[in-house]
Amino acid sequence: MNTEAIKIKDKKPGQRACDEKDAKGKMCVGHLKRWAAPTAEAIKAAGPGAELYRCERCHAIYRPVPEDDSSAGLRYQKQPVNVLGDFSR
Ligand SMILES: [Zn+2]
């Protein structure tokens, strides 16, 4: 059995573009789309009911990080979408 876990990246709040780097260190910047029909392995890795996103280009799997409402909550500000977001549009 292949026990290697599926890699699930954290999708930061507001992140819409893939930040996976290829072998040359170039960012993918593919559009992250809601993954409507995740595979059984992905569901298992992310946990049932998890909302998953997948990059249109490299198919990297993302899971949104929960909004941070604990320690850093007071200082937390939503940053305007970074260069990646603008670039993808
Ligand atoms: Zn990608």
Q: What is the pLDDT of residues 16-72, one digit of tens each?
A: 999 999 899 999 999 999 999 999 999 999 888 889 999 999 999 999 987 755 554
Would the pTM count as exceeding 0.85? no
Q: Would you say residue 22 lies in a domain? A: yes
Are 29 and 84 within 8 A, CB to CB? yes
SS3 (DSSP) at 10: strand
Are 28 and 20 within 8 A, CB to CB? yes
CA of residue 25 to ligand 1 center, whole Å: 12
CA distance 86 to 44: 33
CA of residue 74 to ligand 1 center, whole Å: 32
pLDDT at 89 (0 to 100): 46
Q: Would you say residue 3 lies in a domain? A: no
Per the structure, the complete domain to which residue 16 belongs is given by: 8-65+78-88
CA of residue 46 to ligand 1 center, whole Å: 18
User: How many structural domains compose the chain?
Assistant: 1
Provide the 8-state DSSP code for 70: S
